[in-house]
Structure 1
Amino acid sequence: MTAIESADQTSATVERVTMGEDVQSLRERIALASFIAVPFIAFLAAIPIAWGGWLGWSDVVITFVMYGLTLHGVTVGYHRLFTHKSFKPNRAVKIVLAVLGSMAIEGPVIRWVADHRKHHKFSDKDGDPHSPWRYGNSFVGLTKGFLWAHMGWLFDPEQTPIDKYAPDLVKDRDLVRISRMFWMWVLASILLPPLAGFLITWSWQGAATAFFWGTVVRIGLLHHVTWSINSICHVVGERPFRSRDRSGNVWWLAIPSGGESWHNLHHADPTSARHGVRRWQLDSSARIIWILEKLGWVRDVRWPTRERLEAKSAA
């Protein structure tokens, strides 16, 4: 096999892994728009629907559990493990985290990692896929940039080349297989809440309300919390650590984001397994990694040290 043939074969493998080429197709954009618009509309309708009595205890439990599982699939799995290698898991933990992250419906794991690694390489500079400072510092420019960082960048037809930004993950057969099966994890994420609602209540109404809250509203909330790390946390927030960008800590997003909104330390020290490093800074993702380490299921965790924090301090 010639070098050119080998390169072509690698490129074809990469395309299959990411469920698309390096240029976003119209079909992908339509699907993406649907997964953004429908949950957002449902999120806006959530309060009047709840007020009308269409929210039961089973809906709350199902939504809370599904949100927690898929959120930490992204924060612990997609982000701290696969993107930044903050710890080393056993194979079972690796697979479970990749599947749960996929069920957040934010894209296949390898595609997500490539985008995020590119973000760190060019954070808030030319080349960053989703910087809110893309259009300058003026009010109009920052407004456009904020909307771009929050969700507009998702529709950019030019995709991040994963053979450049995630070649290590392309070599992992488990992650390649999970990425190829992304459609199946999407279906599981959509159908599990109504199935659970039906089994708990033994009624179609229970299935319908569980679908509304546990699927549609949960997806919408999770997406906007995740995107807020790209937008809000790069515009406002405290910056106690030195970083090459404008990443800040936004305390009121800490719980719904699983600790990801302690964003300043993360950009100052990206491989750290813990982002909220002060005692009062809640970081449920770091706590889960700590539990997995105590169980012996992960190892070589990159916990922040006092010396390293002092070296990164902006004071």
Structure 2
Amino acid sequence: MTAIDERPQPPTTPRATMGGDTQGFWERLALGLFIAVPFLAFLAAIPVAWGGWLGWSDVVITFVMYGLTLHGITVGFHRLFTHKSFKPNRAVKITLAILGSMAIEGPVIRWVADHRKHHKFSDKDGDPHSPWRYGNSLRGLTKGFVWAHVGWLFDPEQTSIDKYAPDLAKDRDLVRISRLFWLWVLTSIFLPPLLGALLTWSWQGALTAFFWGTVVRIGLIHHVTWSINSICHTLGERPFASRDFSGNVWWLAIPSGGESWHNLHHADPTSARHGVKRFQLDTSARIIWVLEKLGWVRDVRWPTAERIRAKSVTPAA
């Protein structure tokens, strides 16, 4: 079998801040800071809260910002832009692209290219972030788990946008939003302290909102997203037939917006709902359902009972 050349090809469209095909020093430095600083905030979170630096406004701001940016990723970047699970109107498309960008996981077109490549080579050679990259020994899995969680983010060779996301590179709205990624990063960073100052009318309110609503929230959403790559491709139940090690991890369902029902997703990637069994909470699917009822999205690819049975390892009773 002829090997597929996965080396980045020369781009045919201007990249600017869309996320280039190679990763530079300053990109890696910024990425390192966005990983390290929120991690340190996690370590400080309990003593900070114990010391009285957590108020009702901080809780509200953090939960709202987390919910908006999380579903910008799950509904927007993932189910819409990567897998085309539904068709939105222009306002919904732009809103989801901006909210997903505010999760600070990279420009939308770059994110989609990486994820499409992941699905093409899932848990095989070519997968950007498989925890099985170094084999199935304890040492190999430990190394692979770290790679799948954060290590792959520093790979200087990036996924080719022209090969994996040419459709998005032709969408003027998404190209513009990708190139303005810096603006959405600044908005995501400074909106919580601004809201904190307005709600409490104090500098302390702004500072605590920055700590919880910006730093802790960004760290939490990053590690939850990365856990889908690492934990959900190592652990979990596998009731559906897929070509990889994707599993369902129930305790990640709420913080991930339903993304941790990962086995069905890899068995049926275009499905708009991942949690298809009883009591499998999937807030991302519920949001899509609401948008459909409002007439703002159409052609939603809901899973049918027949399709679920066909994908099951053992037929449902």
Same fold (TM over 0.5): yes
Amino acid at match of 1:247: S
Map 1:113-192 to 2 at 5 A: 113-192=112-191
Cα deviation, residue 43, structure 1: 1.2
- In structure 2, the residue matched to 1:15 is 15
**Does the 8 Å contact 2:62/2:213 carry over to 1?**
yes
SS of equivalent to 2:192: helix
In 2: Cα distance, 1:147 partner to 1:18 partner: 26
In 1: Cα distance, 2:14 partner to 2:216 partner: 32
Cα deviation, residue 12, structure 1: 5.5
In 2: Cα distance, 1:43 partner to 1:73 partner: 23
**CA separation of 1:112 and 1:14: change in aligned 2, threshold 3 A:** farther
Amino acid at match of 2:47: P
In 2: Cα distance, 1:142 partner to 1:14 partner: 38
Structure whose residues are more often helix by fraction: 1
Instruction: Work out the number of aligned pairs and report it.
Output: 305
- In structure 2, the residue matched to 1:106 is 105
| CA deviation map 1:113-164 (0-9, x unaligned) | 0000000000000000000000000000000000000000000000000000
**Does the 8 Å contact 2:188/2:214 carry over to 1?**
yes
**Does the 8 Å contact 2:17/2:181 carry over to 1?**
no
- In structure 2, the residue matched to 1:199 is 198
**Does the 8 Å contact 1:14/1:162 carry over to 2?**
no
In 2: Cα distance, 1:81 partner to 1:115 partner: 15
Map 1:1-315 to 2 at 5 A: 11=11, 13-16=13-16, 18-19=18-19, 21-315=20-314
In 2: Cα distance, 1:67 partner to 1:110 partner: 21
Cα deviation, residue 210, structure 1: 0.1
Amino acid at match of 2:158: Q
In 2: Cα distance, 1:162 partner to 1:89 partner: 22
SS of equivalent to 1:311: helix
In 2: Cα distance, 1:14 partner to 1:302 partner: 33
SS of equivalent to 1:226: helix
| CA deviation map 1:9-51 (0-9, x unaligned) | x9263422524x3110001000000011001110111011101
**CA separation of 1:18 and 1:200: change in aligned 2, threshold 3 A:** same
Amino acid at match of 2:90: R
Amino acid at match of 2:157: E
| CA deviation map 1:72-104 (0-9, x unaligned) | 000000000000000000000000000000000
SS of equivalent to 1:167: coil
SS of equivalent to 1:126: coil
| CA deviation map 1:238-277 (0-9, x unaligned) | 0000000000000000000000000000000000000000
**Does the 8 Å contact 1:14/1:170 carry over to 2?**
no
**Does the 8 Å contact 1:14/1:163 carry over to 2?**
no
In 2: Cα distance, 1:219 partner to 1:267 partner: 26
**CA separation of 1:284 and 1:276: change in aligned 2, threshold 3 A:** same
**Does the 8 Å contact 1:17/1:110 carry over to 2?**
no
SS of equivalent to 1:13: coil
Amino acid at match of 1:131: S
- In structure 2, the residue matched to 1:5 is none
| CA deviation map 1:213-240 (0-9, x unaligned) | 0000000000000000000000000000
Gaps of 5+ in 2: 1-9
The list of structure 1 runs, each at least 4 consecutive aligned residues, that deviate by more than 6 angstroms after superposition, is none
- In structure 1, the residue matched to 2:3 is none
Amino acid at match of 2:149: H
What TM-score results when the alignment is normalised by the length of structure 2?
0.95
In 2: Cα distance, 1:42 partner to 1:224 partner: 13
Gaps of 5+ in 1: 1-9
- In structure 1, the residue matched to 2:6 is none
- In structure 2, the residue matched to 1:7 is none
